[in-house]
Chain A
Amino acid sequence: MAEALLNGNRAEAQTNTLLEVKHLSVDYLAASGVVHAVNDVSITLARGEILGLAGESGCGKSTLAYAIARLLRPPALITEGEVLYYPRTRVDEAGVQRVSTVSMHKREPRVQNLDIDEAEEAVDIMKMGAAELRAFRWTELAIVFQSAMNALNPVMKIGTQIMDVLQAHRPEMGPDARRQRALELLRLVGIAPDRINSYPHELSGGMRQRAIIAIALALSPEIIIMDEPTTALDVVMQREILIEITRLREQLGFSVIFITHDLSLLLELADKIAIMYAGRIVEQGSSFDLYDHPRHPYSYGLLHSFPTIRGPRRNVTGIPGSPPDLRAVPTGCAFNPRCPFAFAPCTGTLPTLSVADPEISEQLVACHLYNPELHPAGAPVEEEFAERYASLSERSKAS
């Protein structure tokens, strides 16, 4: 086990599951009513995996990510659910389970004691106490925010913003060691070392985004949540950043939860993709499966909302209509007003995530079309999707 750790081959080191979200629900309480921003979401993240969360604005993907990190503020309220985190553990000489994280230099695995019940391996983030949560933050879970300009303290130098997180979590590091580490991180993301004394407004947009990534990597976390990190950048910069992220991930082995509305991006980047609509996951599966055979009509619609450069020509249809107001979500399946396949049960019964094709057990979909009891005719094929969407767009153009 220890050798596996020292080799930096994290995938072998422990159970494969890193994070397990179970039935997480988040509500926003407002004077006008309760909004269910995230509704009974369950998903797992494996070690070294890139999980993509996709969906239109307001579908709850950001809320979900911040809920996992417990960074939501009132009026947001986590009403139910657990988020189990499986820290890397090893059993030490005394037979006690300890959590260890491997530093970037692959030195001695550092032992860091989180409060783990000896019998359990996992820790419920939702139940962590204040001190525990603070220790957990950034050492295990870091976040790359969408707008680097807004996420960086405008009156603090970049170097200080890297070093203060080192100071908070690695008290044994002296000022020189911290500075060295900061320089190292800047080099890692491709920022000139003299920028350590620069202020955020003195850097270009791309550099700022990279600085944010550098800060996120400071303590070698296991999970990095990236909230639309490239949306605010131009395509060229976008590509550079994504290459950067992929390279760093291969080098350091962290897992990523990547939030974006750009599904095409995820198809290239992510291992697993979960598509959200109106606060629920409507489909999840490997990126290949999703690309090759999307099951949920919404997924199909999303995939066909952008043209591809390569591959067979296809109609760019888009999805008529717009996402529902979360204060007034349609009954049954929330997508039913816009769905070209909507039939009787769709307005009455809420579909749950289940396997669509028994041979591909990883791909789950929440749609009645795949429920043999409700839809005996069987699942629709690709051409049917295309037809239905085409006629839907005809009708919506006509109206």
Chain B
Amino acid sequence: MSQIDPLNRPVPSQDEDGPPDNTLNQVAELEGTHIIEVSADTNGRAAVNTPISLAGNSATPISGTGTPVTTMIAGRLSGFWQAATRNRKVAFGLSVIAFFMLVAIFGPMFVHTDPNAFSQDLLSPPSASHWLGTTQTGQDVFAQVIYGARTSIFWGFLTGILVTIISIVIGLCAGYFGGIIDDILSLFINVFLVLPALPLAIVLAAYFPFKGPLTVAIVITMTSWAYGSRVLRAQTMSMRRRDFVDAARASGERTLRIIFFEILPNEISVVAAGFVGTVLYVIIFEASLEFIGLGSPTVVSWGSMFYWAQNNDALLLGAWWWFVPPGLCIAVLGAALAFINFGIDEMANPRLRTERRPKVKAPSTRKALTTKEAVA
């Protein structure tokens, strides 16, 4: 893992019983609702305070309402989607991610150069024939970036899904069952949370008999599941106290059904927001591991490009075109994620918004007091 948690998440405290105050839980509070602007300051001094519906209020029982689970989930996700895309930052971030996904899926169809093919132009700078130049062995960098996008993003998604599944299972079980099960699982989660991920991943990967994207995927999964688990645990703990859970238990629903078909759909937007973050975190983590040399030498991915560039002293030879493009791709993806995060923060916490004030002609010319002046 090569950087600070790109989501910049304050981590929920150990013993909290309720949902911690971080972005993912703020997301949970927005789910399935329309965001109405709060038009005044908080703490009851607001003249108008149209409520933002909380997950608690909108958490509904799934079974027995006649609506299939999938419809409910789809409904919530679309509500969340609508709210999210209204925010400029989120929309921007999402469009960048969409662009990359398009490149990953369709890019290689349009690029006819084989990324692994050697050529005569060794280490040549960008030109008409090689848009991003070539490597030490004459391979086309542009082709490598495009094919690498597919590899990196595909494996990123796969790993992201794996991590998310594990987080869901462990987090929800820990949050729902409580008691000794929770104590054990929590300890497990916290220990893994506190162990440094990159060194552990390096050791694990080094011992795997085969090197390649699959190894990297497994190793990352083993070291990154803890964060999501903790968030979902906290979320579940607060969900568990809601009436609909009691109702479900009273009506004799099986526990597993309650967990995965009642509680989980209500947390789906937390999971969705976390998934985006996880995928991008994983992509960076993969690139880091490959950079060190723990990937497969034959697979083309962004990370492997770094590895070969470093090993062939691209930097000392001034071949910036080799390592700048893949890094730029990752950086832009990471920035897209950060923007989404920023946007979600703003949506959930109206105080963080930079509101644009309407141009209102006040009857007198009294100036609005800024915080600074109000204090003085």
- By a beta-carbon cutoff of 8 Å, the part of chain A in contact with chain B is 25, 27-37, 57-58, 60, 62-63, 66, 70-80, 126, 130-131, 133-134, 146, 150, 279, 325-327
Asked if A28 and B39 sit within 8 Å, CB to CB, the answer is yes
Q: Please measure, in the bound complex, the distance between the C-alpha atom of A74 and the C-alpha atom of B366, giving whole angstroms.
A: 13
Q: B residues 40-57 with Cβ under 8 Å of A?
A: 40-41, 43-49
Q: Which residues of B contact A76 (CB under 8 A)?
A: 40-41, 45, 368
B4 within 8 A of A: no
Contact partner of A66 (CB less than 8 A), chosen from B45, B355, B357, is: B45
B52 to chain A, nearest CB (A): 14
Asked if B47 and A58 sit within 8 Å, CB to CB, the answer is yes
Can you list 8 A-B pairs with a CB-CB distance of less than 8 A? A30-B358, A36-B47, A70-B374, A74-B370, A76-B41, A133-B376, A150-B43, A327-B48
Q: Which residues of B contact A150 (CB under 8 A)?
A: 43
Closest to B366 in A: A78
State how many residues of chain B have any CB contact under 8 Å with chain A.
28
Q: Please measure, in the bound complex, the distance between the C-alpha atom of A30 and the C-alpha atom of B353, giving whole angstroms.
A: 12
Asked if B358 and A35 sit within 8 Å, CB to CB, the answer is no
B288 to chain A, nearest CB (A): 38
Closest to A26 in B: B47
Contact partner of B45 (CB less than 8 A), chosen from A72, A74, A80, A325, is: A72
Asked if B369 and A74 sit within 8 Å, CB to CB, the answer is yes
B363 to chain A, nearest CB (A): 5
Q: Please measure, in the bound complex, the distance between the C-alpha atom of A279 and the C-alpha atom of B40, giving whole angstroms.
A: 14
Q: Which residues of B contact A60 (CB under 8 A)?
A: 47
Asked if A35 and B373 sit within 8 Å, CB to CB, the answer is no
Closest to B360 in A: A34
Contact partner of A30 (CB less than 8 A), chosen from B40, B45, B364, B374, is: B40
Contact partner of A29 (CB less than 8 A), chosen from B38, B360, B363, B364, is: B360
Contact partner of A146 (CB less than 8 A), chosen from B44, B48, B355, is: B44
Asked if A37 and B374 sit within 8 Å, CB to CB, the answer is no
Q: Please measure, in the bound complex, the distance between the C-alpha atom of A131 and the C-alpha atom of B368, giving whole angstroms.
A: 18
Closest to A134 in B: B376
- By a beta-carbon cutoff of 8 Å, the part of chain B in contact with chain A is 37-41, 43-49, 355-358, 360, 362-364, 366, 368-371, 373-374, 376
Closest to B356 in A: A31
Q: Which residues of B contact A71 (CB under 8 A)?
A: 374
Closest to A126 in B: B366
Q: Please measure, in the bound complex, the distance between the C-alpha atom of A92 and the C-alpha atom of B152, giving whole angstroms.
A: 83
Asked if A58 and B357 sit within 8 Å, CB to CB, the answer is no
Asked if B40 and A75 sit within 8 Å, CB to CB, the answer is yes
Asked if B45 and A62 sit within 8 Å, CB to CB, the answer is yes
Closest to B364 in A: A80
B139 to chain A, nearest CB (A): 52
Question: What 9 A-B pairs have minimum CB-CB distances, sorted nearest first?
Answer: A30-B39, A130-B376, A37-B47, A28-B40, A80-B364, A79-B362, A77-B368, A35-B47, A326-B47
Closest to B362 in A: A79
A319 to chain B, nearest CB (A): 20
Q: Which residues of B contact A133 (CB under 8 A)?
A: 376
In the complex, besides A27-B360, A30-B355, A80-B363, 15 extra interface pairs with C-beta distance below 8 angstroms are A28-B41, A28-B46, A29-B368, A30-B39, A32-B37, A35-B47, A66-B45, A70-B374, A73-B371, A75-B355, A76-B41, A130-B376, A150-B43, A279-B47, A326-B47
B77 to chain A, nearest CB (A): 26
Q: Please measure, in the bound complex, the distance between the C-alpha atom of A27 and the C-alpha atom of B47, giving whole angstroms.
A: 9
Q: Please measure, in the bound complex, the distance between the C-alpha atom of A30 and the C-alpha atom of B38, giving whole angstroms.
A: 8
B371 to chain A, nearest CB (A): 6
Asked if A29 and B358 sit within 8 Å, CB to CB, the answer is yes
Q: Which residues of A contact B49 (CB under 8 A)?
A: 58
Q: Which residues of B contact A326 (CB under 8 A)?
A: 47-48
Asked if B37 and A31 sit within 8 Å, CB to CB, the answer is yes
Q: Please measure, in the bound complex, the distance between the C-alpha atom of A63 and the C-alpha atom of B49, giving whole angstroms.
A: 13
Q: Which residues of A contact B362 (CB under 8 A)?
A: 27, 77, 79-80
Closest to B36 in A: A32
Closest to B353 in A: A31
Q: Please measure, in the bound complex, the distance between the C-alpha atom of A265 and the C-alpha atom of B336, giving whole angstroms.
A: 55
A306 to chain B, nearest CB (A): 21
Q: Which residues of A contact B374 (CB under 8 A)?
A: 70-73
Closest to A65 in B: B45
Q: Which residues of A contact B38 (CB under 8 A)?
A: 30
Q: Which residues of B contact A62 (CB under 8 A)?
A: 44-45
Q: Please measure, in the bound complex, the distance between the C-alpha atom of A29 and the C-alpha atom of B359, giving whole angstroms.
A: 9
Q: Please measure, in the bound complex, the distance between the C-alpha atom of A75 and the C-alpha atom of B44, giving whole angstroms.
A: 14
Asked if B39 and A327 sit within 8 Å, CB to CB, the answer is yes
Q: Please measure, in the bound complex, the distance between the C-alpha atom of A71 and the C-alpha atom of B374, giving whole angstroms.
A: 6
Asked if A79 and B366 sit within 8 Å, CB to CB, the answer is yes
Q: Which residues of A contact B39 (CB under 8 A)?
A: 28, 30-33, 35, 75, 327
Closest to A325 in B: B48
Closest to A27 in B: B362
Most buried by A among B45, B358, B373, B374: B45
Q: Which residues of B contact A66 (CB under 8 A)?
A: 45
Q: Which residues of A contact B364 (CB under 8 A)?
A: 79-80
Closest to B373 in A: A130
Q: Which residues of A contact B41 (CB under 8 A)?
A: 28, 72-76
Contact partner of B358 (CB less than 8 A), chosen from A31, A63, A327, is: A31
Contact partner of A63 (CB less than 8 A), chosen from B47, B356, B363, B369, is: B47
